[in-house]
Amino acid sequence: MTRDLSGMLERMPPIAHGRSDRLWFPLVIARYLSPAVQTWLTERDVPYVDATGNMRISIDSPGLYLREVGATRDPWRGPGRPLGTLSGHPAARVVRALLDFRSPMSMSDLIKKSGASTGAAYRVVEFLEQETLVERVPRGPIDTISWRRLLLRWSKDYGFQRSNTVYRYLEPRGMPNLLDKLRNTKDIGYAVTGSLAAHQWAPYAAARLAMIHVDDPEQFALAVGLRPVDTGANVLLATGAHNVAFDRAEMIDEIMLAAPSQTAADLLTGPGRAPAEAMALLDWMEEHEDQWRR
């Protein structure tokens, strides 16, 4: 964890030069160092090596640079331990709660707010600690959440199209007409995400594609008057195990919008210019954290 590393580095002597027979420099040695920890050490120019072969040693004088890549996952991780991934419904619930709520947060609060099981919550948090995405007081609350890095990390395992079943439809009269229909649609479970939702917080460009989480695609399409198509779709309806997409959705201007954190994740993994729109939304989220985190 970065807290442990920070304390350890403070106690290390600085790199020493000027002696012909001896050179001192700090070196972190571990059984396994995750990619996130390696990045943290690299940013601080701290040499490291682990038992799987991951290594980076860089010294200016005398000139020395050694770099090798070993395992990207802990080969000694045993049964019941985090699997090295944030895929799946339990992880999604925990991640969304960590994104949407401010720290400090006790584990009991996280379990309650996420709706995940106790075991899943602890396993996900342990994995996130190893990835230096959250920091937790020993036997205490989570006191630091690197929410932007966490969201980017989650998007590697979660995807709007790969984690859901997606149906393609056409709204012949475009996005303004679709929004008008949604304002008159009642008692149907949905949450608008993607460009249409992001426009509420961080306008990027006129939306050409609607991405919507729905309970029942056929019922929703019938109520809104969408036409199923194989090509040329401008509406994507997603349904699946990730019903966490509806968590903390909010009615704005008579339209139900997915939370900014969910919208950003969907854009990061969406088609076309969606990833660029995601970065604009993330920038807005950093500048207006008090408006979307609870």
The C-alpha atoms of residue 36 and residue 133 are separated, in whole angstroms, by: 8
Question: Which CA distances in Å does 171 have to 188, 220, 232, 253?
Answer: 18, 13, 10, 20
What would the CATH number be for the domain defined by 165-292?
3.30.460
Residues 1-6, mean pLDDT to the nearest whole number: 61
Please state whether beta strands 64-68 and 55-59 pair in parallel, antiparallel, or not at all (unpaired): antiparallel
pLDDT band per the 50, 70, 90 thresholds, residue 7: low
Residues 151-174 pLDDT 10s: 999 999 999 999 999 999 999 999
Distance between CA atoms of residues 53 and 74, nearest Å: 12
- CATH 3.30.460 in the chain, residues? 165-292
Q: What is the pLDDT of residue 240?
A: 84
Indicate where the chain has its CATH 1.10.10.10 domain(s).
Answer: 89-154
Q: Alpha helix locations (H) across the chain?
A: 2-11, 35-43, 89-100, 107-114, 118-130, 147-154, 174-183, 194-198, 217-224, 260-268, 274-287, 289-292
In this predicted structure, what is the pLDDT of residue 238? Answer: 97
**pLDDT (0 to 100) of residue 282:** 98
Confidence of residue 263 (pLDDT cuts 50, 70, 90): very high
Collapse the DSSP code of 52 into the 3-class scheme (helix H, G, I; strand E, B; otherwise coil) and give the result. coil
What confidence tier does 17 reach under pLDDT thresholds 50, 70, 90? very low
CA distance 121 to 141: 13
Amino acid at 240: G
pLDDT surpasses 70 at 3:
no
Instruction: State residue 19's pLDDT score.
Output: 47
Phi, psi of 234 (to 5 degrees): -125, 10
Q: Tokens in use for 268?
A: 């990061």
The closest alpha carbon to 100, from 114, 86, 120, belongs to: 114
**What tens digit of pLDDT does each residue of 194-233 get?**
999 999 999 998 999 999 999 999 999 999 999 999 999 9
pLDDT for residue 2: 56
Task: Tell me how many degrees the CA angle 230-236-242 measures, rounded to the nearest 5.
Answer: 125
CATH number of this structure's domain 89-154, picked from the four choices 1.20.1560.10, 1.10.10.10, 3.40.640.10, 3.40.800.20:
1.10.10.10
